[in-house]
Structure 1
Amino acid sequence: PPQTSNQQTNNSPVPQILLLFYSPTPLPLLLSLLHQLAEKIEVVGALSIKTRRLLKGHGNKVLCMDWCKDKRRLVSSSQDGKVIVWDGFTLNKEHGVTLPCTWVMACAYAPSGCAVACGGLDNKCSVIPLSLDKTENLAAKKKPVAMHTNYVSGCTFTNSDMQILTSSGDGSCALWDVESGQLLQSFHGHTADVLSLDLAPSETGNTFVSGGCDKKSCVWDMRSGQNIQSFESHESDVNCVKYYPSGDAFASASDDATCRFYDLRADREVAVYQKDSIIFGASTVDFSLSGRLLFAGYNDYTINVWDVLKGTRVSVLFGHENRVSRVRVSPDGTALCSASWDNTLRIWA
């Protein structure tokens, strides 16, 4: 501060403090919507995506599915109480496990491909080691790892087979040690059922995002258990959250019939994917490998394909005969698998 006449002066200089603010993205860009910045980018050409495989074998609604890292196998779980491991090329069922409860709402493949995890209305998340012996009774080797006080809605392995993340209807998420079943970290911040979670794609990723019935999406630090960012622009339940391939953003799907795109660096929503003709809730989302396309499954039995940058719909995929519960792009980006309440899974390419 400048010295006034009544202040005593001395020979020491007044210290000057310079504050430097660094933003990787210019501020005007952060305050714009994505489609405004993408006006001069070429539109996505016509897509020729068709059903290439139809996977039949479940006796009730297929609630979840996940790809193996080998890009060939996948696991699905159903209201019939079964978990099935499929070969996506030959359609062979490699493993089938019947669980003691119906509504197996979550399933995930381990990074090594040597185990799958599943959970649902039994409030537990169990890990099942897969064996080369097709005749072995896998149900007997099932190991309970996580225990919640309400249903398990989602599960995913971290970057190894040794830890697993779960989300639950008890309003919490949790990180567990697979070997001991010990709770390593719990995440509290949602005020209603947590319906979905997704791990940041980075190899050293220490964050994940969750969405729930409180209309909120929350970003969490796995080491501290702290909620580091929250977004509340949906008008109904957030059914699914999925990170953008770069890890700098994520998309959400909601019962309000919209999908939304949030930039984590800008700390705000930058795009909404909606049309007046879409009146049914969105249940699930996933990105193409490049991040240019967003695949969204809806309760009107369709999968809409959105141009992430321009915010326009580029295609609609028809084929399922009931609501689409899950869409997942294969690890190499060459195919899309969808699970549905019509008891089937479809592989599109």
Structure 2
Amino acid sequence: MGKEDAETVALKKELEALINKCKEEQKKQQDTTLEQVCGGVADAPKVRLSTKKMLKGHINKVNSVHFSGDSRHCVTGSLDGKLIIWDTWTGNKVQVIPLRSAWVMSVAFAPSGNFVACGGMDNMCTVYDVNNRDATGSAKIVRELLGYEGFLSSCRFLDDKKIITGSGDMKICIWDLEANKKTTDFEAHAGDVVSISLSPDSNTYVTGSVDKTCKLWDLREEKAKQTFFGHEADVNSVCYHPSGQGFVTASEDKTARLWDFRSDQQLTTFKPPSSNPGFTSCGLSLSGRFIFCGSDDNSIHIWDTLKNQHNGVLSGHENRVTSLCVSGNGMAVASCSWDQNVRIWV
């Protein structure tokens, strides 16, 4: 044992030395700060969003929300064992889908609006065809993707035929839904993969993990292109920047951050002026100028990403905000919470 321990200690030291060397190299590239560069930019106007629609229907904590590609419909998953598809313009339920397992952690809407997927503590990803009903009248299960050794924490459709998933067994899998088989399956992180965000062109994606790191991947490769260190606790949420040049994160360490691919490092850290909550989720406005962060303090915090100014707070939820999603056209933000409600902010 002693020998192995000594070897492990030596390897850890070597790893730390390498990480510090990387950090030093990054510092050399850091000739200025984002705040300095954007000093001359006019202050952003106050974001004035209010709850346009309050979507009531779930009878337990709502864990995840995701917009369809039409920016009108969204799907939510709750511990009441239901997926609900909503028309966010009218506030009406379009469809209620009963789940075989109530422990849902992640939901996804295909960009086409034809399929929804979900998964969680049942260690699988279930795909439903929204346009086809089974004998009971609810959306038909078209695929049950098995083979995970941990909970399913995140899923995103690449298109109607492909889905990418992240799970508690540290893996990323890509599935061919037509052939019903995995085309890609690899260990991506040293801890649970918690969040996945696809690039605007859908060629690359970013992941966030319990191992405190984020990674940039190419869909055609199984090796990370870049790894980002800095967070001091679980990275709960990642969101690709609309420019395709960076991404934002929300973390358990009570910070949200903006990262840049080209300089291979963090550009800025967002913290609320008074409260000190952990962040569960993040999203960006269509221009990328504003970041929205759902938090443990029941509210959504907004910052100007260029000037790092706290722009305001969206209040209304009565328990922690678990997930938020900005619509594709940038016109609305959907948020869901442990208070069992879903809000559409416009």
Equivalent residues of 1:146, 1:181 under 8 A apart: no
Q: Which runs of 5+ in 2 are unaligned?
A: 1-26
Q: Matched residues in 2 for 1:230 and 1:276: separation? A: 29
Equivalent residues of 2:115, 2:129 under 8 A apart: yes
1:155 aligns with 2:134: no
Equivalent residues of 1:119, 1:153 under 8 A apart: yes
1:260 aligns with 2:224: no
Q: Which residue of 2 aligns with 1:38?
A: 38
1:177 aligns with 2:176: yes
Q: Matched residues in 1 for 2:137 and 2:122: separation? A: 20
One-letter amino acid of the counterpart of residue 331, structure 1: G
Q: Which residue of 1 aligns with 2:64?
A: 64
Residue by residue over 1:249-286, the C-alpha shift from the partner in whole angstroms, topping out at 9 and shown as x without a partner, is 00010011100111001101011101452321011000
Residue by residue over 1:89-144, the C-alpha shift from the partner in whole angstroms, topping out at 9 and shown as x without a partner, is 22221111111111211111112111111111111111100127799633553421
Instruction: Name which of 313, 322, 326 aligns with 1:316.
Output: 313
What is the CA-CA distance between 1:328 and the residue it aligns to? 1.0
Query: Higher helix fraction: Structure 1 or Structure 2?
Result: 2
Q: Matched residues in 1 for 2:213 and 2:273: separation? A: 23
Equivalent residues of 1:176, 1:184 under 8 A apart: yes
**Could you state the TM-score of these two structures normalised by the residue count of structure 1?**
0.88
What is the CA-CA distance between 1:183 and the residue it aligns to? 1.1
Q: Matched residues in 2 for 1:130 and 1:103: separation? A: 21
CA separation of 1:42 and 1:302: change in aligned 2, threshold 3 A: same
One-letter amino acid of the counterpart of residue 128, structure 2: I
**Could you state the TM-score of these two structures normalised by the residue count of structure 2?**
0.88
Q: Which residue of 2 aligns with 1:5?
A: none
Q: Matched residues in 2 for 1:28 and 1:171: separation? A: 32
One-letter amino acid of the counterpart of residue 278, structure 1: S
Q: CA RMSD in A?
A: 1.9
Equivalent residues of 2:131, 2:139 under 8 A apart: no
Q: Matched residues in 1 for 2:309 and 2:240: separation? A: 20
Q: Matched residues in 1 for 2:49 and 2:237: separation? A: 23
Structure 1 runs of 4+ with >6 Å offset: 132-135
Taking only the aligned residue pairs, the percentage that are identical comes to 39
What is the 5 A alignment of 1:1-349? 31-131=31-131, 137-138=137-138, 140-158=140-158, 160-202=159-201, 205-275=202-272, 277-349=274-346
Q: Matched residues in 2 for 1:96 and 1:58: separation? A: 10
Q: Matched residues in 1 for 2:337 and 2:88: separation? A: 16
CA separation of 1:256 and 1:34: change in aligned 2, threshold 3 A: same
Equivalent residues of 2:125, 2:145 under 8 A apart: yes
Equivalent residues of 1:213, 1:237 under 8 A apart: yes
Q: Matched residues in 2 for 1:56 and 1:130: separation? A: 21
How many pairs does the alignment contain? 320
Of 28-37 and 228-237, deviating more is: 28-37
Equivalent residues of 1:208, 1:219 under 8 A apart: yes
Q: Which residue of 2 aligns with 1:20?
A: none
Q: Matched residues in 1 for 2:41 and 2:29: separation? A: 15
One-letter amino acid of the counterpart of residue 44, structure 1: A
Equivalent residues of 1:154, 1:167 under 8 A apart: yes
